[in-house]
Amino acid sequence: MKRRSVLPGLMATLAIFGIAPRGHARTGRVDRVVVLKRKRVLQLISKGDVVHSFRIALGREPRGDKRFEGDGRTPEGLYWLDSWKGDSRFYKAIRISYPNRADVEMARRMGRSAGGAIMVHGLASEIEHWGPNHYLFNWTEGCIAVTNEEMDVIWNSVRPGTPIEIRP
């Protein structure tokens, strides 16, 4: 008696009906990224629907808006994804358009630099073994970190100019 696997048929059925099994995320263009800092979640939004949701790690001081370079905080507000870095030390990285004029002015009033180089990025090779548990620690300098697999989904889903709204 021949054994047949049902997996190929199941995968084909799921593909026909547009359902992606867990761990096999569909990629496609999204029109907005939303970060919910308090919940430690990054959402990819397409036509008003959340199509992907990822747990994230933030800056080492996760509460509050970024004020100046070196404060360890992740900025809050509306920004844009503006450049891609495939050779980042954090697997892959997409730059966020921080700082805007208001950020620069706030830091200037404090006698500081606003900083920059705020990214959405994957995991560096030395911490890649943290995998899906990376979000248990706020270990970045103000960036937003996801697993490398999740970074691949984001990388393939967003385009330059995609808005990213970072909420408290």
pLDDT digits (tens, 9 = 90+) for 103-142: 999 999 999 999 999 999 999 989 888 988 999 989 999 9
**pLDDT score at 10:** 41
The verdict on residue 40 lying in a domain is yes
Strands 32-36 and 144-145, by their bridges, are unpaired
Collect the ranges in the chain with pLDDT lower than 70.
1-28
**pLDDT score at 65:** 92
Domain range holding 91?
Answer: 30-167
The verdict on residue 70 lying in a domain is yes
- Burial (CB count within 10 angstroms: exposed 0-12, middle 13-18, buried 19+), residue 75: buried
State the total domains in the chain: 1
The set of residues, in sequence order, having a beta carbon less than 8 Å from that of 51 and lying 6+ positions away, is 26, 28, 30, 44, 45, 157
The verdict on residue 18 lying in a domain is no
The verdict on residue 22 lying in a domain is no
Helix (H, G, I), strand (E, B) or coil at 108: helix
The verdict on residue 5 lying in a domain is no
The verdict on residue 111 lying in a domain is yes
**pLDDT score at 64:** 86
Residue 34, domain CATH:
2.40.440.10
The verdict on residue 127 lying in a domain is yes
Instruction: Answer for the pair 34, 45: CB distance below 8 angstroms, yes or no.
Output: yes
The total number of residues shown for the chain amounts to: 168
The verdict on residue 63 lying in a domain is yes
